[in-house]
Structure 1
Amino acid sequence: MPGSTRSTPADRLDDDDYPAYTMGRAAEMIGATPAFLRALGEAKLIVPLRSDGGHRRYSRYQLRIAARARELVDTGTPVDAACRIIILEDQLEEAQRLNAELRRHAAENTAPAEGT
């Protein structure tokens, strides 16, 4: 249907935020244990959605964050510290993005007008 905003189940395959993975599958995918994923949830690094039956469901975006946490933990960083590092990395990335956007905006507003 042209112009329709309805999504189909196939559209969810490309959605990084769609909670498609069960805890067991998510843990398997990142090479961790369900307990590790629960620890990340307790630290509020990732908050899985719940299925109608109350089971945790994880998105690909959340799994990327969990995989980064696992990398840090595997090098000896405590889970709480790994979560804080990831949050700070995310905040730094956002600040850098905003800074670049503000610089572009400032450059556009200070560019000399044509013919002057």
Structure 2
Amino acid sequence: MAEREYKSFSDFWPFYLREHSLPRTRMLHYVGTSLVVGLTVFGVLTVNWWVLIALPLAGYFFAWIAHFTVEKNRPATFTYPLWSLVADFRMWWLWLTGRLRPHLRNAGVASDPKR
């Protein structure tokens, strides 16, 4: 089945959330994104720009592990790299601030009974 072509981020966002429907997938993304934020802050505060080289590895390692072993789907990054990056930080921030659940519900992602 051919993948739909998204013309706007607002159309892409629900697709992104559906591609991250399992809580373990999202959690692994949160680990990677938190590492990226932490490494960025550390690199800037210590003026150690070499740390920034690790950002792609830190971010993508956990995300791709999640997609290939937990969600068993193809990372959206392969088709929509910039929107996926933005969506990942948006998902992380909404989770961190406790506002992700309505977005998941609107995207058709079943709520996790354990949360």
TM-score bin (small chain): under 0.3
Larger radius of gyration: 1
TM-score, normalised on structure 1?
0.25
Q: Which has the higher strand share?
A: 1
TM-score, normalising length: structure 2: 0.25
More contact order relative to length (CA 8 Å, sep ≥ 6): 2
